[in-house]
Amino acid sequence: MTFCDQSVFVYGTLKPGGHYWPRFCEGKVSRVVPAKIRGELYDLHVGYPGVLLRGEAWVQGYVLRFPNLADFGQLDVLEGFMSDRPLEHNEYLRLRVDCFSPEGQPLGEVWAYEMTDSTFRRFPATRIEDGNWPVSQSK
């Protein structure tokens, strides 16, 4: 399975059934694939999670493919990411990551949003040990 440059790993409110799924994803994605990436997932206690791309733990989520570049670009707006401003002014950064099937088979590189250090410090984050954000927690 190969993904395009408009494929993104989602782990929180953009997952199917999540708070932002209807507005940003429903009817706009051509593929939804269960997947996981390496990292640490945190509950920020504000209705959405954040991930730090470090460590050997797994973060559970989905890869979404957006055929329309404009729809894909709306995710940057939601995640507070602008590539042309200083990194510390972003809430999240959009980075390429290796992703895997739930069984651990490599699926290739996709985009993912990692919270910045300043975002992490701003909230009373609690690690989600199983790496799975329940969509019922979405704001």
pLDDT digits (tens, 9 = 90+) for 11-31: 999 999 999 999 999 999 999
Q: Where is pLDDT greater, at 89 or 99?
A: 99
What domain count does the chain have?
Answer: 1
Q: How far apart are CA 11 and CA 120, in angstroms?
A: 16
Mean pLDDT to the nearest integer, 23-48: 96
Tell me, what's the pLDDT at 4?
64
The reply to whether the predicted model has a pTM over 0.85 is yes
Residue 87 belongs to some domain of the structure = yes
Is residue 138 over pLDDT 60?
no
Residue 2 belongs to some domain of the structure = no
Residue 16 belongs to some domain of the structure = yes
Residue 122 belongs to some domain of the structure = yes
Per-residue buried b or exposed e for 87-125, using 16+ beta carbons within 10 Å of the residue's own CB = eeebebbbeebebeeeeeeebebbbbbbbbeebeeeeeb
Q: Kindly tell me the number of DSSP H helices and DSSP E strands found in the chain.
A: 3, 8
- Output the domain CATH number for residue 123: 3.10.490.10
pLDDT digits (tens, 9 = 90+) for 104-127: 999 999 999 999 999 999 999 999
Residue 139 belongs to some domain of the structure = no
Residue 105 belongs to some domain of the structure = yes
> Which domain does 111 fall in, by range?
7-131
Residue 138 belongs to some domain of the structure = no
Q: How far is CA 121 from the centre of its chain?
A: 19
In sign, the C-alpha dihedral spanning 51, 55, 59, 64 is positive
Residue 59 pLDDT grade (very low, low, confident, very high; cuts 50, 70, 90): very high
Residue 1 belongs to some domain of the structure = no
